[in-house]
Chain A
Amino acid sequence: MSGREMLGIALAAVAVAVLACVPLMLGDYGLSLAINIVSYTVLATAWSLFSGPTRYVSLATVAFFGIGAYTTAVFVESLAWPLVLLIATAVSIVVAAIVGLSTLRLSGVYFVIFSFGLAELVRQLVTWFEVNKTRTLGRYVFADITAAQIYWQLLALAVLVFAIGFWIGRSRLGLALRAIGDDETVARHSGIDATRAKVALFVLSTVFMTLTGAIMAPRWTYIDPAIAFNPVISFTVLIMALLGGVHRLYGPVLGVVPLALLFEYLLARFPNHFSIMVGLVFIVIVYLIPRGIAGLVEGAVRKPA
Protein backbone atom coordinates (compact mmCIF):
# COMPACT_ATOMS: atom_id res chain seq x y z
CA MET A 1 0.00 0.00 0.00
CA SER A 2 1.44 3.35 -0.99
CA GLY A 3 1.84 6.34 1.35
CA ARG A 4 -0.89 8.22 -0.47
CA GLU A 5 -3.36 5.42 0.11
CA MET A 6 -2.45 5.26 3.79
CA LEU A 7 -3.11 8.97 4.03
CA GLY A 8 -6.43 8.51 2.26
CA ILE A 9 -7.50 5.78 4.67
CA ALA A 10 -6.46 7.89 7.67
CA LEU A 11 -8.47 10.85 6.37
CA ALA A 12 -11.46 8.60 5.72
CA ALA A 13 -11.26 7.26 9.28
CA VAL A 14 -11.26 10.80 10.69
CA ALA A 15 -14.19 11.73 8.45
CA VAL A 16 -16.20 8.71 9.62
CA ALA A 17 -15.45 9.57 13.26
CA VAL A 18 -16.68 13.12 12.73
CA LEU A 19 -19.77 11.92 10.85
CA ALA A 20 -20.52 9.47 13.65
CA CYS A 21 -20.86 12.43 16.03
CA VAL A 22 -23.48 14.11 13.84
CA PRO A 23 -26.54 12.87 15.78
CA LEU A 24 -25.06 14.38 18.96
CA MET A 25 -24.74 17.79 17.31
CA LEU A 26 -27.87 18.15 15.20
CA GLY A 27 -31.53 18.53 16.06
CA ASP A 28 -34.33 16.36 14.68
CA TYR A 29 -34.56 18.13 11.34
CA GLY A 30 -30.81 18.10 10.80
CA LEU A 31 -30.65 14.44 11.70
CA SER A 32 -33.40 13.48 9.29
CA LEU A 33 -31.57 15.35 6.54
CA ALA A 34 -28.36 13.54 7.47
CA ILE A 35 -30.15 10.18 7.37
CA ASN A 36 -31.46 11.07 3.94
CA ILE A 37 -27.99 11.97 2.67
CA VAL A 38 -26.30 8.88 4.07
CA SER A 39 -28.98 6.54 2.75
CA TYR A 40 -28.73 8.03 -0.74
CA THR A 41 -24.95 7.84 -0.49
CA VAL A 42 -25.18 4.09 0.04
CA LEU A 43 -27.78 3.68 -2.73
CA ALA A 44 -25.96 5.81 -5.30
CA THR A 45 -22.55 4.31 -4.54
CA ALA A 46 -23.97 0.80 -4.71
CA TRP A 47 -25.70 1.70 -7.96
CA SER A 48 -22.53 2.90 -9.64
CA LEU A 49 -20.55 -0.02 -8.26
CA PHE A 50 -22.43 -2.09 -10.82
CA SER A 51 -23.57 0.39 -13.45
CA GLY A 52 -20.34 2.40 -13.62
CA PRO A 53 -17.94 -0.21 -14.96
CA THR A 54 -20.49 -2.36 -16.83
CA ARG A 55 -22.50 0.56 -18.31
CA TYR A 56 -25.73 -1.29 -17.67
CA VAL A 57 -28.24 1.35 -16.57
CA SER A 58 -30.23 -0.16 -13.73
CA LEU A 59 -33.65 1.36 -13.10
CA ALA A 60 -34.47 -1.22 -10.43
CA THR A 61 -33.01 0.39 -7.30
CA VAL A 62 -36.36 0.78 -5.60
CA ALA A 63 -37.34 -2.81 -6.29
CA PHE A 64 -34.60 -3.90 -3.92
CA PHE A 65 -35.00 -0.98 -1.55
CA GLY A 66 -38.68 -1.89 -1.27
CA ILE A 67 -37.93 -5.58 -0.74
CA GLY A 68 -35.74 -4.55 2.18
CA ALA A 69 -38.37 -2.23 3.61
CA TYR A 70 -41.05 -4.91 3.37
CA THR A 71 -38.84 -7.53 4.95
CA THR A 72 -38.47 -5.26 7.94
CA ALA A 73 -42.19 -4.52 8.06
CA VAL A 74 -43.03 -8.21 8.07
CA PHE A 75 -40.42 -9.53 10.48
CA VAL A 76 -39.30 -6.70 12.75
CA GLU A 77 -41.74 -7.48 15.54
CA SER A 78 -41.17 -11.22 15.62
CA LEU A 79 -37.46 -11.64 14.90
CA ALA A 80 -34.16 -10.29 16.17
CA TRP A 81 -32.89 -7.34 14.15
CA PRO A 82 -29.75 -9.01 12.72
CA LEU A 83 -31.94 -11.88 11.56
CA VAL A 84 -34.24 -9.44 9.76
CA LEU A 85 -31.26 -7.96 7.92
CA LEU A 86 -30.07 -11.46 7.07
CA ILE A 87 -33.43 -12.41 5.58
CA ALA A 88 -33.50 -9.18 3.56
CA THR A 89 -30.04 -9.99 2.21
CA ALA A 90 -31.04 -13.53 1.28
CA VAL A 91 -34.20 -12.44 -0.54
CA SER A 92 -32.38 -9.80 -2.54
CA ILE A 93 -29.63 -12.25 -3.51
CA VAL A 94 -32.21 -14.67 -4.90
CA VAL A 95 -34.13 -11.99 -6.83
CA ALA A 96 -30.98 -10.33 -8.17
CA ALA A 97 -29.50 -13.65 -9.25
CA ILE A 98 -32.65 -14.57 -11.18
CA VAL A 99 -32.80 -11.18 -12.88
CA GLY A 100 -29.07 -11.14 -13.55
CA LEU A 101 -28.81 -14.65 -14.93
CA SER A 102 -31.72 -14.18 -17.30
CA THR A 103 -30.76 -10.74 -18.63
CA LEU A 104 -27.07 -10.06 -18.15
CA ARG A 105 -25.87 -12.56 -20.73
CA LEU A 106 -27.75 -10.57 -23.36
CA SER A 107 -27.06 -7.06 -24.60
CA GLY A 108 -27.56 -4.17 -22.19
CA VAL A 109 -30.93 -3.03 -23.44
CA TYR A 110 -32.71 -6.18 -22.23
CA PHE A 111 -31.40 -5.57 -18.76
CA VAL A 112 -32.55 -1.94 -18.81
CA ILE A 113 -36.05 -2.93 -19.86
CA PHE A 114 -36.26 -5.66 -17.29
CA SER A 115 -34.98 -3.46 -14.50
CA PHE A 116 -37.35 -0.71 -15.65
CA GLY A 117 -40.36 -2.88 -14.90
CA LEU A 118 -38.99 -4.86 -11.99
CA ALA A 119 -40.12 -2.43 -9.29
CA GLU A 120 -43.60 -2.30 -10.81
CA LEU A 121 -43.70 -6.09 -10.93
CA VAL A 122 -42.59 -6.56 -7.33
CA ARG A 123 -45.00 -3.85 -6.22
CA GLN A 124 -47.91 -5.59 -7.93
CA LEU A 125 -46.92 -8.96 -6.54
CA VAL A 126 -46.68 -7.57 -3.01
CA THR A 127 -50.02 -5.80 -3.43
CA TRP A 128 -51.60 -8.99 -4.73
CA PHE A 129 -50.19 -10.97 -1.82
CA GLU A 130 -51.29 -8.44 0.78
CA VAL A 131 -54.78 -8.08 -0.63
CA ASN A 132 -55.39 -11.79 -1.11
CA LYS A 133 -53.50 -13.36 1.77
CA THR A 134 -53.18 -10.86 4.59
CA ARG A 135 -56.21 -8.80 3.48
CA THR A 136 -54.59 -5.49 4.39
CA LEU A 137 -52.76 -3.15 2.07
CA GLY A 138 -50.59 -1.25 4.53
CA ARG A 139 -48.46 -2.31 7.46
CA TYR A 140 -47.35 -0.53 10.61
CA VAL A 141 -43.68 -0.76 11.41
CA PHE A 142 -43.26 -0.71 15.17
CA ALA A 143 -39.59 -1.01 15.96
CA ASP A 144 -37.71 0.10 19.00
CA ILE A 145 -35.06 1.93 16.98
CA THR A 146 -34.15 5.60 17.37
CA ALA A 147 -33.30 7.93 14.51
CA ALA A 148 -29.71 8.13 15.73
CA GLN A 149 -29.43 4.33 15.63
CA ILE A 150 -30.74 4.30 12.08
CA TYR A 151 -28.19 6.92 11.16
CA TRP A 152 -25.32 4.91 12.67
CA GLN A 153 -26.40 1.75 10.89
CA LEU A 154 -26.55 3.58 7.59
CA LEU A 155 -23.16 5.11 8.24
CA ALA A 156 -21.71 1.66 8.90
CA LEU A 157 -23.30 0.46 5.66
CA ALA A 158 -21.77 3.41 3.82
CA VAL A 159 -18.32 2.57 5.20
CA LEU A 160 -18.83 -1.01 4.10
CA VAL A 161 -19.89 -0.08 0.56
CA PHE A 162 -16.85 2.18 0.17
CA ALA A 163 -14.52 -0.48 1.58
CA ILE A 164 -15.90 -3.09 -0.81
CA GLY A 165 -15.75 -0.67 -3.72
CA PHE A 166 -12.12 0.08 -2.86
CA TRP A 167 -11.31 -3.61 -2.62
CA ILE A 168 -13.02 -4.41 -5.94
CA GLY A 169 -11.05 -1.67 -7.67
CA ARG A 170 -7.83 -3.49 -6.74
CA SER A 171 -9.07 -7.04 -7.23
CA ARG A 172 -9.30 -9.38 -10.18
CA LEU A 173 -13.02 -8.71 -10.32
CA GLY A 174 -12.28 -5.02 -10.84
CA LEU A 175 -9.90 -5.77 -13.72
CA ALA A 176 -12.47 -8.13 -15.23
CA LEU A 177 -15.18 -5.47 -15.04
CA ARG A 178 -13.05 -2.78 -16.62
CA ALA A 179 -12.16 -5.20 -19.42
CA ILE A 180 -15.84 -6.07 -19.92
CA GLY A 181 -16.76 -2.39 -19.99
CA ASP A 182 -14.19 -1.81 -22.75
CA ASP A 183 -14.95 -4.78 -24.98
CA GLU A 184 -16.89 -7.76 -23.77
CA THR A 185 -15.88 -10.07 -26.62
CA VAL A 186 -12.19 -9.45 -25.99
CA ALA A 187 -12.72 -9.86 -22.25
CA ARG A 188 -14.32 -13.25 -22.81
CA HIS A 189 -11.40 -14.24 -25.02
CA SER A 190 -9.04 -13.40 -22.18
CA GLY A 191 -10.76 -16.09 -20.14
CA ILE A 192 -13.12 -13.79 -18.27
CA ASP A 193 -16.50 -15.30 -17.45
CA ALA A 194 -18.29 -12.04 -18.18
CA THR A 195 -21.77 -13.20 -17.19
CA ARG A 196 -20.58 -14.45 -13.82
CA ALA A 197 -18.67 -11.24 -13.10
CA LYS A 198 -21.66 -9.09 -13.98
CA VAL A 199 -24.13 -11.17 -12.02
CA ALA A 200 -21.82 -11.23 -9.00
CA LEU A 201 -21.48 -7.47 -9.01
CA PHE A 202 -25.18 -6.91 -9.61
CA VAL A 203 -26.05 -9.13 -6.67
CA LEU A 204 -23.53 -7.36 -4.48
CA SER A 205 -24.84 -3.92 -5.38
CA THR A 206 -28.46 -4.90 -4.78
CA VAL A 207 -27.67 -6.30 -1.32
CA PHE A 208 -26.66 -2.79 -0.27
CA MET A 209 -29.85 -1.34 -1.72
CA THR A 210 -31.95 -3.92 0.09
CA LEU A 211 -30.19 -3.34 3.41
CA THR A 212 -30.73 0.41 3.04
CA GLY A 213 -34.45 -0.20 2.60
CA ALA A 214 -34.53 -2.56 5.56
CA ILE A 215 -32.77 -0.08 7.83
CA MET A 216 -34.85 2.88 6.64
CA ALA A 217 -38.26 1.19 7.04
CA PRO A 218 -38.75 2.04 10.76
CA ARG A 219 -38.47 5.74 9.85
CA TRP A 220 -41.91 5.61 8.23
CA THR A 221 -43.91 3.75 10.92
CA TYR A 222 -46.46 2.99 8.16
CA ILE A 223 -45.68 1.54 4.73
CA ASP A 224 -47.70 0.32 1.82
CA PRO A 225 -46.51 -0.84 -1.62
CA ALA A 226 -46.85 2.64 -3.12
CA ILE A 227 -44.49 4.09 -0.49
CA ALA A 228 -41.95 1.28 -0.42
CA PHE A 229 -41.76 0.93 -4.21
CA ASN A 230 -41.96 4.59 -5.14
CA PRO A 231 -40.18 4.86 -8.53
CA VAL A 232 -38.92 8.34 -7.65
CA ILE A 233 -36.32 6.63 -5.44
CA SER A 234 -34.77 4.75 -8.39
CA PHE A 235 -34.82 7.94 -10.35
CA THR A 236 -33.25 10.02 -7.60
CA VAL A 237 -30.45 7.50 -7.13
CA LEU A 238 -29.72 7.42 -10.85
CA ILE A 239 -29.56 11.19 -11.18
CA MET A 240 -27.40 11.59 -8.06
CA ALA A 241 -24.90 8.99 -9.25
CA LEU A 242 -24.77 10.55 -12.71
CA LEU A 243 -24.32 14.06 -11.38
CA GLY A 244 -21.48 12.91 -9.15
CA GLY A 245 -19.83 10.68 -11.74
CA VAL A 246 -19.90 6.90 -11.91
CA HIS A 247 -16.30 6.34 -12.97
CA ARG A 248 -14.86 6.95 -9.52
CA LEU A 249 -15.78 5.42 -6.20
CA TYR A 250 -16.04 8.86 -4.59
CA GLY A 251 -18.09 10.22 -7.52
CA PRO A 252 -21.70 9.49 -6.49
CA VAL A 253 -21.38 11.14 -3.09
CA LEU A 254 -20.46 14.39 -4.87
CA GLY A 255 -23.88 14.22 -6.51
CA VAL A 256 -25.79 13.06 -3.45
CA VAL A 257 -25.05 16.01 -1.18
CA PRO A 258 -26.06 18.90 -3.47
CA LEU A 259 -29.08 17.08 -4.92
CA ALA A 260 -30.39 15.88 -1.55
CA LEU A 261 -30.32 19.49 -0.37
CA LEU A 262 -31.86 20.75 -3.62
CA PHE A 263 -34.65 18.17 -3.53
CA GLU A 264 -35.35 18.98 0.09
CA TYR A 265 -35.82 22.59 -0.95
CA LEU A 266 -37.89 21.79 -4.05
CA LEU A 267 -40.12 19.39 -2.17
CA ALA A 268 -40.86 22.04 0.46
CA ARG A 269 -41.31 24.82 -2.07
CA PHE A 270 -43.05 23.08 -5.01
CA PRO A 271 -44.61 19.90 -3.62
CA ASN A 272 -46.96 19.57 -6.61
CA HIS A 273 -44.37 20.20 -9.26
CA PHE A 274 -41.57 18.15 -7.74
CA SER A 275 -41.52 15.53 -10.48
CA ILE A 276 -41.28 18.17 -13.23
CA MET A 277 -38.43 19.95 -11.46
CA VAL A 278 -36.51 16.76 -10.86
CA GLY A 279 -37.01 15.69 -14.46
CA LEU A 280 -35.66 19.02 -15.69
CA VAL A 281 -32.65 18.87 -13.36
CA PHE A 282 -31.99 15.39 -14.68
CA ILE A 283 -32.14 16.43 -18.32
CA VAL A 284 -29.75 19.32 -17.63
CA ILE A 285 -27.29 16.88 -16.07
CA VAL A 286 -27.47 14.39 -18.93
CA TYR A 287 -26.86 17.09 -21.53
CA LEU A 288 -24.41 19.38 -19.78
CA ILE A 289 -22.44 17.23 -17.33
CA PRO A 290 -22.30 13.77 -18.93
CA ARG A 291 -19.18 12.78 -16.99
CA GLY A 292 -20.41 14.13 -13.67
CA ILE A 293 -18.77 16.37 -11.11
CA ALA A 294 -15.94 13.87 -10.68
CA GLY A 295 -15.26 14.17 -14.41
CA LEU A 296 -15.27 17.98 -14.18
CA VAL A 297 -12.89 17.93 -11.22
CA GLU A 298 -10.49 15.58 -12.98
CA GLY A 299 -10.69 17.60 -16.17
CA ALA A 300 -9.85 20.77 -14.24
CA VAL A 301 -6.96 19.11 -12.43
CA ARG A 302 -5.53 17.64 -15.63
CA LYS A 303 -5.71 20.74 -17.82
CA PRO A 304 -2.96 22.85 -16.18
CA ALA A 305 -0.51 19.94 -16.31
Chain B
Amino acid sequence: MLFEVTLSGVTLGGMYALVAMGLTLQYGVARIMNLSYGELLIAAAFAALWFYSGLAINPLIGLVVVPPIAFALSYAIYRILVQPLVSRAKTRDALEVDSILATFGLLFVIQGVMLALFGGAYFSYSFLAVPLKIAGATVAANRLLALLLAVAIGLGLYLGLTRTRIGTAVRAVAVDPVAAQLVAIDVRTASALAFALGGALVAAAGVLVSMFLTFNANLGVVFTLKALVVVIMGGVGNLLGALIAGLILGLVENYVAVFVDPGLTLAATYAIFLLVLLVRPQGILGRSSR
Protein backbone atom coordinates (compact mmCIF):
# COMPACT_ATOMS: atom_id res chain seq x y z
CA MET B 1 0.00 0.00 0.00
CA LEU B 2 2.63 2.52 1.07
CA PHE B 3 4.80 1.63 -1.90
CA GLU B 4 1.87 1.98 -4.25
CA VAL B 5 0.98 5.40 -2.90
CA THR B 6 4.60 6.44 -3.07
CA LEU B 7 4.84 5.31 -6.67
CA SER B 8 1.80 7.29 -7.76
CA GLY B 9 3.07 10.22 -5.68
CA VAL B 10 6.33 10.10 -7.61
CA THR B 11 4.39 10.14 -10.87
CA LEU B 12 2.43 13.17 -9.80
CA GLY B 13 5.59 14.80 -8.43
CA GLY B 14 7.37 14.16 -11.73
CA MET B 15 4.57 16.05 -13.50
CA TYR B 16 4.80 18.92 -11.04
CA ALA B 17 8.55 19.05 -11.53
CA LEU B 18 8.16 19.19 -15.30
CA VAL B 19 5.50 21.91 -15.06
CA ALA B 20 7.64 23.86 -12.60
CA MET B 21 10.74 23.58 -14.80
CA GLY B 22 8.90 25.42 -17.53
CA LEU B 23 7.76 28.11 -15.13
CA THR B 24 11.21 28.50 -13.63
CA LEU B 25 12.49 29.13 -17.16
CA GLN B 26 9.84 31.77 -17.74
CA TYR B 27 10.24 33.45 -14.37
CA GLY B 28 13.90 32.80 -13.72
CA VAL B 29 15.22 33.66 -17.17
CA ALA B 30 12.64 35.82 -18.92
CA ARG B 31 11.67 37.38 -15.53
CA ILE B 32 8.01 37.14 -16.41
CA MET B 33 5.60 35.96 -13.74
CA ASN B 34 3.11 34.22 -16.00
CA LEU B 35 -0.20 33.61 -14.25
CA SER B 36 -1.78 32.15 -17.40
CA TYR B 37 0.82 29.38 -17.38
CA GLY B 38 -1.49 26.56 -16.26
CA GLU B 39 -4.08 27.48 -18.89
CA LEU B 40 -1.63 26.35 -21.55
CA LEU B 41 -1.34 23.00 -19.77
CA ILE B 42 -5.10 22.53 -19.84
CA ALA B 43 -5.27 23.70 -23.45
CA ALA B 44 -2.67 21.06 -24.36
CA ALA B 45 -4.64 18.45 -22.44
CA PHE B 46 -7.74 19.36 -24.43
CA ALA B 47 -5.73 19.18 -27.64
CA ALA B 48 -4.55 15.67 -26.76
CA LEU B 49 -8.10 14.68 -25.89
CA TRP B 50 -9.35 16.01 -29.21
CA PHE B 51 -6.59 14.20 -31.11
CA TYR B 52 -7.37 10.95 -29.35
CA SER B 53 -11.15 10.83 -29.21
CA GLY B 54 -11.87 13.04 -32.22
CA LEU B 55 -9.20 12.00 -34.68
CA ALA B 56 -8.06 8.72 -33.11
CA ILE B 57 -4.48 9.99 -32.97
CA ASN B 58 -2.25 8.47 -30.31
CA PRO B 59 -1.42 10.93 -27.47
CA LEU B 60 2.23 10.04 -27.99
CA ILE B 61 1.98 11.64 -31.41
CA GLY B 62 0.21 14.53 -29.71
CA LEU B 63 3.30 14.82 -27.54
CA VAL B 64 5.32 15.45 -30.67
CA VAL B 65 2.85 17.84 -32.28
CA VAL B 66 1.48 19.95 -29.40
CA PRO B 67 4.66 21.30 -27.73
CA PRO B 68 6.05 22.88 -30.92
CA ILE B 69 2.70 24.65 -31.41
CA ALA B 70 2.83 25.83 -27.79
CA PHE B 71 6.42 26.96 -28.37
CA ALA B 72 5.36 29.10 -31.32
CA LEU B 73 2.35 30.44 -29.44
CA SER B 74 4.39 31.33 -26.36
CA TYR B 75 7.03 32.95 -28.53
CA ALA B 76 4.32 35.08 -30.15
CA ILE B 77 2.85 35.95 -26.73
CA TYR B 78 6.27 37.07 -25.55
CA ARG B 79 7.03 39.17 -28.61
CA ILE B 80 3.59 40.76 -28.87
CA LEU B 81 2.32 41.01 -25.31
CA VAL B 82 5.33 40.87 -23.03
CA GLN B 83 8.03 42.78 -24.88
CA PRO B 84 6.14 46.13 -24.75
CA LEU B 85 5.95 45.70 -20.97
CA VAL B 86 9.67 44.95 -20.76
CA SER B 87 10.43 48.08 -22.75
CA ARG B 88 8.22 50.34 -20.69
CA ALA B 89 9.15 49.01 -17.23
CA LYS B 90 11.58 51.24 -15.36
CA THR B 91 12.47 48.71 -12.67
CA ARG B 92 12.29 44.98 -12.23
CA ASP B 93 9.51 45.43 -9.69
CA ALA B 94 7.46 47.44 -12.16
CA LEU B 95 7.90 44.71 -14.77
CA GLU B 96 6.84 42.09 -12.27
CA VAL B 97 3.63 43.94 -11.45
CA ASP B 98 2.89 44.62 -15.12
CA SER B 99 3.51 41.03 -16.17
CA ILE B 100 1.35 39.72 -13.34
CA LEU B 101 -1.50 41.97 -14.43
CA ALA B 102 -1.20 41.27 -18.15
CA THR B 103 -0.97 37.51 -17.76
CA PHE B 104 -3.83 37.58 -15.27
CA GLY B 105 -5.94 39.08 -18.06
CA LEU B 106 -4.63 36.46 -20.46
CA LEU B 107 -5.64 33.75 -17.99
CA PHE B 108 -9.27 34.82 -18.25
CA VAL B 109 -9.16 35.06 -22.04
CA ILE B 110 -7.71 31.56 -22.51
CA GLN B 111 -9.94 30.10 -19.82
CA GLY B 112 -12.95 31.81 -21.42
CA VAL B 113 -12.12 30.35 -24.81
CA MET B 114 -11.88 26.86 -23.34
CA LEU B 115 -15.11 27.29 -21.39
CA ALA B 116 -16.86 28.42 -24.56
CA LEU B 117 -15.53 25.39 -26.45
CA PHE B 118 -15.80 22.65 -23.84
CA GLY B 119 -17.97 23.96 -21.01
CA GLY B 120 -17.14 23.36 -17.36
CA ALA B 121 -17.47 19.57 -17.36
CA TYR B 122 -14.66 17.15 -16.46
CA PHE B 123 -13.00 15.18 -19.25
CA SER B 124 -10.79 12.15 -19.50
CA TYR B 125 -10.01 9.45 -22.01
CA SER B 126 -8.83 5.94 -21.66
CA PHE B 127 -5.37 5.31 -23.01
CA LEU B 128 -3.19 2.42 -21.87
CA ALA B 129 -5.37 2.10 -18.77
CA VAL B 130 -3.99 -1.34 -17.97
CA PRO B 131 -2.63 -2.21 -14.54
CA LEU B 132 1.01 -3.20 -14.27
CA LYS B 133 2.60 -5.04 -11.36
CA ILE B 134 5.86 -3.64 -10.09
CA ALA B 135 7.43 -5.22 -7.01
CA GLY B 136 4.01 -6.18 -5.75
CA ALA B 137 2.45 -2.79 -6.32
CA THR B 138 -0.11 -2.01 -8.97
CA VAL B 139 0.36 1.01 -11.17
CA ALA B 140 -1.50 2.05 -14.30
CA ALA B 141 0.59 1.74 -17.46
CA ASN B 142 -0.34 5.26 -18.58
CA ARG B 143 0.96 6.75 -15.31
CA LEU B 144 4.23 4.91 -15.60
CA LEU B 145 4.64 5.93 -19.22
CA ALA B 146 3.90 9.54 -18.34
CA LEU B 147 6.52 9.45 -15.61
CA LEU B 148 9.15 7.95 -17.87
CA LEU B 149 8.45 10.51 -20.57
CA ALA B 150 8.57 13.35 -18.02
CA VAL B 151 11.95 12.10 -16.82
CA ALA B 152 13.21 11.91 -20.40
CA ILE B 153 12.01 15.43 -21.21
CA GLY B 154 13.42 16.85 -17.99
CA LEU B 155 16.77 15.18 -18.59
CA GLY B 156 16.83 16.42 -22.17
CA LEU B 157 16.15 19.96 -20.96
CA TYR B 158 18.87 19.73 -18.34
CA LEU B 159 21.43 18.52 -20.85
CA GLY B 160 20.32 21.10 -23.39
CA LEU B 161 20.78 23.91 -20.90
CA THR B 162 24.10 22.75 -19.53
CA ARG B 163 25.81 21.31 -22.62
CA THR B 164 24.88 23.63 -25.48
CA ARG B 165 25.92 27.15 -26.38
CA ILE B 166 22.40 28.49 -26.45
CA GLY B 167 21.58 26.77 -23.17
CA THR B 168 24.57 28.43 -21.55
CA ALA B 169 23.39 31.79 -22.89
CA VAL B 170 19.95 31.21 -21.39
CA ARG B 171 21.46 30.31 -18.01
CA ALA B 172 23.70 33.36 -18.14
CA VAL B 173 20.67 35.60 -18.59
CA ALA B 174 19.07 33.98 -15.57
CA VAL B 175 22.06 34.84 -13.41
CA ASP B 176 22.60 38.40 -14.60
CA PRO B 177 20.90 39.96 -17.64
CA VAL B 178 23.19 43.00 -17.65
CA ALA B 179 26.42 41.03 -17.47
CA ALA B 180 25.10 38.60 -20.09
CA GLN B 181 24.66 41.54 -22.43
CA LEU B 182 28.29 42.51 -21.86
CA VAL B 183 29.47 39.16 -23.21
CA ALA B 184 27.41 39.68 -26.36
CA ILE B 185 24.43 37.54 -25.46
CA ASP B 186 21.22 38.77 -27.07
CA VAL B 187 19.16 39.01 -23.88
CA ARG B 188 15.87 39.68 -25.66
CA THR B 189 16.16 36.62 -27.86
CA ALA B 190 17.35 34.44 -25.01
CA SER B 191 14.40 35.63 -22.88
CA ALA B 192 11.92 35.01 -25.68
CA LEU B 193 13.39 31.54 -26.24
CA ALA B 194 13.23 30.71 -22.54
CA PHE B 195 9.64 31.90 -22.36
CA ALA B 196 8.69 29.84 -25.43
CA LEU B 197 10.56 26.81 -24.13
CA GLY B 198 8.64 27.11 -20.87
CA GLY B 199 5.42 27.10 -22.90
CA ALA B 200 6.50 24.00 -24.80
CA LEU B 201 7.35 22.21 -21.55
CA VAL B 202 4.02 22.94 -19.93
CA ALA B 203 2.23 21.81 -23.08
CA ALA B 204 4.17 18.54 -23.00
CA ALA B 205 3.17 18.18 -19.35
CA GLY B 206 -0.43 18.87 -20.37
CA VAL B 207 -0.42 16.02 -22.87
CA LEU B 208 1.12 13.68 -20.31
CA VAL B 209 -1.32 14.72 -17.58
CA SER B 210 -4.29 14.14 -19.90
CA MET B 211 -3.28 10.49 -20.21
CA PHE B 212 -4.05 9.72 -16.58
CA LEU B 213 -5.95 12.57 -14.90
CA THR B 214 -9.43 13.98 -15.39
CA PHE B 215 -9.41 17.69 -16.09
CA ASN B 216 -11.70 20.62 -16.83
CA ALA B 217 -11.37 24.13 -18.19
CA ASN B 218 -11.07 25.67 -14.72
CA LEU B 219 -8.14 23.58 -13.55
CA GLY B 220 -5.36 25.70 -15.05
CA VAL B 221 -5.23 28.01 -12.06
CA VAL B 222 -4.52 25.09 -9.74
CA PHE B 223 -1.61 23.94 -11.87
CA THR B 224 -0.21 27.46 -12.07
CA LEU B 225 -0.44 27.71 -8.33
CA LYS B 226 1.30 24.42 -7.69
CA ALA B 227 3.99 25.25 -10.23
CA LEU B 228 4.60 28.57 -8.48
CA VAL B 229 4.85 26.86 -5.12
CA VAL B 230 7.31 24.32 -6.51
CA VAL B 231 9.40 27.05 -8.15
CA ILE B 232 9.62 29.04 -4.91
CA MET B 233 10.32 25.89 -2.91
CA GLY B 234 13.09 24.80 -5.24
CA GLY B 235 14.65 28.23 -5.61
CA VAL B 236 13.82 30.48 -8.54
CA GLY B 237 15.67 29.49 -11.73
CA ASN B 238 16.97 26.25 -10.24
CA LEU B 239 16.05 23.17 -12.31
CA LEU B 240 17.31 20.61 -9.81
CA GLY B 241 15.49 22.43 -7.02
CA ALA B 242 12.29 22.28 -9.05
CA LEU B 243 12.73 18.53 -9.45
CA ILE B 244 13.21 17.93 -5.73
CA ALA B 245 10.41 20.30 -4.72
CA GLY B 246 8.06 18.80 -7.32
CA LEU B 247 8.65 15.31 -5.97
CA ILE B 248 8.13 16.46 -2.38
CA LEU B 249 4.86 18.14 -3.31
CA GLY B 250 3.60 15.14 -5.30
CA LEU B 251 4.42 12.72 -2.51
CA VAL B 252 2.91 14.84 0.25
CA GLU B 253 -0.26 15.44 -1.75
CA ASN B 254 -0.67 11.77 -2.47
CA TYR B 255 -0.06 10.74 1.13
CA VAL B 256 -2.54 13.34 2.35
CA ALA B 257 -5.10 12.34 -0.25
CA VAL B 258 -4.84 8.63 0.61
CA PHE B 259 -4.20 8.64 4.34
CA VAL B 260 -5.92 11.84 5.47
CA ASP B 261 -8.57 13.23 3.15
CA PRO B 262 -8.59 13.94 -0.58
CA GLY B 263 -10.30 17.29 0.12
CA LEU B 264 -7.25 18.54 1.96
CA THR B 265 -4.55 18.23 -0.71
CA LEU B 266 -4.50 21.93 -1.49
CA ALA B 267 -4.31 22.67 2.21
CA ALA B 268 -1.26 20.41 2.34
CA THR B 269 0.30 22.30 -0.56
CA TYR B 270 -0.26 25.53 1.29
CA ALA B 271 1.09 24.19 4.54
CA ILE B 272 4.33 23.27 2.77
CA PHE B 273 4.44 26.64 1.06
CA LEU B 274 4.00 28.46 4.38
CA LEU B 275 6.69 26.35 5.97
CA VAL B 276 9.14 27.20 3.18
CA LEU B 277 8.30 30.90 3.42
CA LEU B 278 8.88 30.90 7.14
CA VAL B 279 12.01 28.76 7.27
CA ARG B 280 13.79 29.14 3.95
CA PRO B 281 12.26 31.81 1.70
CA GLN B 282 15.09 31.58 -0.81
CA GLY B 283 14.10 27.96 -1.58
CA ILE B 284 15.63 24.56 -0.89
CA LEU B 285 18.50 25.05 -3.33
CA GLY B 286 18.25 28.81 -3.73
CA ARG B 287 21.11 31.03 -2.69
CA SER B 288 20.50 34.04 -0.49
CA SER B 289 21.09 37.24 -2.37
CA ARG B 290 23.33 40.06 -1.22
Contact = CB atoms under 8 A, between A and B. Distances in A.
Touching in the complex, A and B, CB below 8 A?
Answer: yes
Interface string A216-245: 000000000000000110010011001000
Interface string A77-114: 00000000000000000000000001100101110111
B28 to A, nearest CB: 12
Contact of A282 (B85, B104, B224): B104
Interface stretch (B58-66, B152-160, B164-172, B270-278): B270-278
A128 B104 contact: no
A231 B116 CA distance: 17
A120 B222 contact: yes
Interface residues of A, number: 42
Contacts of B270: 117, 121
A95 to B, nearest CB: 12
A83 to B, nearest CB: 29
Given A238-B104, A276-B116, A113 B267 contact: no
B104 A287 contact: no
**Interface core residue of A124, A127, A273 (most chain B CB under 10 Å):** A124
Contacts of B266: 117, 120-121, 124
Contact of A114 (B101, B105, B273): B273
Interface string A127-138: 110011000000
A109 B105 contact: no
A102 B277 contact: yes
Contacts of B104: 59, 235, 238, 282
A238 B96 CA distance: 16
B261 A110 contact: no
Interface string B107-128: 1111111011000000000000
B12 interface: no
A282 B277 CA distance: 31
Contacts of B110: 279
Nearest to B81: A283
B32 to A, nearest CB: 12
A106 B274 CA distance: 12
B221 interface: yes
B101 A57 contact: yes
Given A106-B277, A108-B96, A276-B112, A132 B228 contact: no
A287 B277 contact: no
Contact of A113 (B97, B113, B116, B228): B228
Instruction: Determine chain A's interface SS by DSSP, over half rule.
Output: helix
Contacts of A239: 105
Given A55-B93, A283-B106, A286-B101, A275 B274 contact: no
Contacts of B84: 287
B35 interface: yes
Contact of A103 (B96, B98, B116, B277): B277
A235 B98 CA distance: 15
A273 B108 CA distance: 10
Interface string A275-303: 11111101100110010000000000000
A120 B261 contact: no
B233 to A, nearest CB: 11
B263 A116 contact: no
Interface in A37-81: 55, 57, 59
21 contacts: A55-B93, A106-B281, A108-B96, A109-B96, A114-B273, A114-B277, A116-B35, A116-B228, A117-B229, A124-B264, A128-B263, A128-B264, A128-B267, A279-B107, A279-B111, A283-B81, A283-B109, A286-B98, A286-B105, A287-B84, A287-B102
The 6 closest A-B pairs by CB, nearest first: A275-B112, A279-B108, A276-B112, A128-B263, A279-B109, A282-B105
Given A235-B108, A283-B102, 13 more contacts: A57-B101, A112-B33, A121-B266, A124-B264, A239-B105, A242-B101, A273-B112, A276-B108, A278-B108, A278-B112, A279-B107, A279-B109, A282-B104
